[in-house]
């Protein structure tokens, strides 16, 4: 959910869904995501637009999730809002739909 909401910024739902599926098929976990090269992650996220910024933020988020939360997305509003590129709307969606 966090990956999808991060990709969805300024992107149509259909494009977000396709990009999310492509990324999650190749990298279902934060650890897997960090194993992707930046170039491959950007290629998979490309249709979503602003893909370089989104992938950079997702890589930072993955590092935070692994390092600070043991690989689990936190179910805490403040923790989500502290992540790069995550605003209140994305945090609410992650909390409501993801948990």
Instruction: Give me the active site residues, please.
Output: 89
Integer Cα distance of 84 and 86 in angstroms: 6
User: Is residue 85 left, alpha or beta, with left meaning phi > 0 and alpha meaning psi from -120 to 50?
Assistant: left
Alpha-carbon span 80 to 94, nearest angstrom = 9
């Amino acid at each position: 959910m966090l990956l999808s909401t991060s990709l969805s910024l300024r992107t149509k739902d259909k494009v977000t869904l396709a990009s999310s599926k492509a990324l999650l098929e190749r990298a279902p976990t934060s650890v897997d995501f960090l194993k992707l090269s930046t170039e491959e992650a950007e290629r998979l996220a490309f249709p979503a637009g602003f893909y370089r910024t989104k992938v950079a933020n997702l890589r930072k988020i993955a590092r935070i999730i692994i390092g600070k939360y043991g690989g689990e997305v936190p179910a805490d509003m403040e923790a989500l809002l502290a992540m790069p590129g995550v605003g209140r709307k994305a945090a609410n969606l992650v909390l409501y739909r993801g948990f």
